Structure 1
């Protein structure tokens, strides 16, 4: 009887660990195929002809149309640079440099990937519309409260994610991956 109980307990533990690690690999994935640069995360093998199994699982789970490797790379941030979840009740500031790319867009989405841009505004902020600092760095304010200069106006409530899509970029390619830096996301105020 003890043998059967130990066997059942071992099977239960094995299933819990296996399913738990699989869920983690497909959602967070930092240890399995995703790359984290500060608060930003990307899956660089997503557009490869033969992505690794974890990336394939992520693609299937996300069920979204993905860019090919030569087309671009998408970075997603669900938290600020201090690790706190992004919340529409707060206003954030994005500072720094974006990796070299021909063009990029910045959008905000909710957990169902519905765009949160305020009605009557563009769905995303484009690199061609940004006023830059004197050193080429960008400063973008994100939130529901009016801010000066570059502002991504949002609407709604609850948690959200920022999606930075780089088009025609060498970021995270084998020869440029060590030079990649991403902008920081700083909490400004909360209501």
Structure 2
């Protein structure tokens, strides 16, 4: 009787641990094949047949459609360059240049992957519409209140995610450093 009880207990514990780890991996992802440059993170193999099983499970769970390697790569940021979480009540500046790409988009999402609602219906910028300096660099202000220039409204959302998608770009699996792919800086400049 004791042997049966211990066997059932071991199976129950193994099932709980296995399902818990599977759920955690599918919701939070893993760092397998991750490319990190500054605050930006990408998984270049996600849109290929070389995708790892954990990333495949996370995509199946979320229902997202990843950018294929032949098309480009998507970078996300949840913190600034100093590892401070992106807070919609603060002023955040995304500035600099992007790696070479035929076209790019910078979009603001909530932590569930939905566009952040706002009265202006401004959800992001593209490389064709952004106002740049004479040197080609740009500056985007992300804040709850209106700002001059390139401004994305946060609606005072507490946490959000920035997504920079680069289309038709050489950035990919072989990219390793800021020198290979100069990513825009993310800086928190004001917080009430």
CA gap 1:94/1:160 in 2 versus in 1, 3 angstroms: same
8 Å CA contact retained: 1:104, 1:164: yes
1:57-102 CA-to-partner distances (Å, cap 9, x unmatched) read 2322322122222122111111111111111111100122211111
8 Å CA contact retained: 2:37, 2:176: no
2:63 pairs with 1:99:
no
2:136 pairs with 1:136:
yes
List aligned pairs for 1:37-116, cutoff 5 A.
37-116=37-116
Pairs aligned (count):
189
Q: What's the RMSD between the two structures over aligned residues?
A: 2.8
8 Å CA contact retained: 1:25, 1:31: no
| Structure 2 partner of 1:182 | 183
TM-score, length basis structure 2:
0.81
TM-score, length basis structure 1:
0.81
SS state at 2:59 partner: helix
CA gap 1:160/1:23 in 2 versus in 1, 3 angstroms: same
Q: How far apart are residue 132 of structure 1 and its match?
A: 2.0
Q: Which runs of 5+ in 2 are unaligned?
A: none
8 Å CA contact retained: 1:25, 1:32: no
SS state at 1:125 partner: strand
| Structure 1 partner of 2:122 | 122
SS state at 1:45 partner: helix
CA gap 1:13/1:151 in 2 versus in 1, 3 angstroms: same
Counterparts of 2:134 and 2:182, CA distance in 1: 18
Counterparts of 1:85 and 1:57, CA distance in 2: 26
8 Å CA contact retained: 2:124, 2:152: yes
SS state at 1:113 partner: coil
| Structure 2 partner of 1:155 | 155
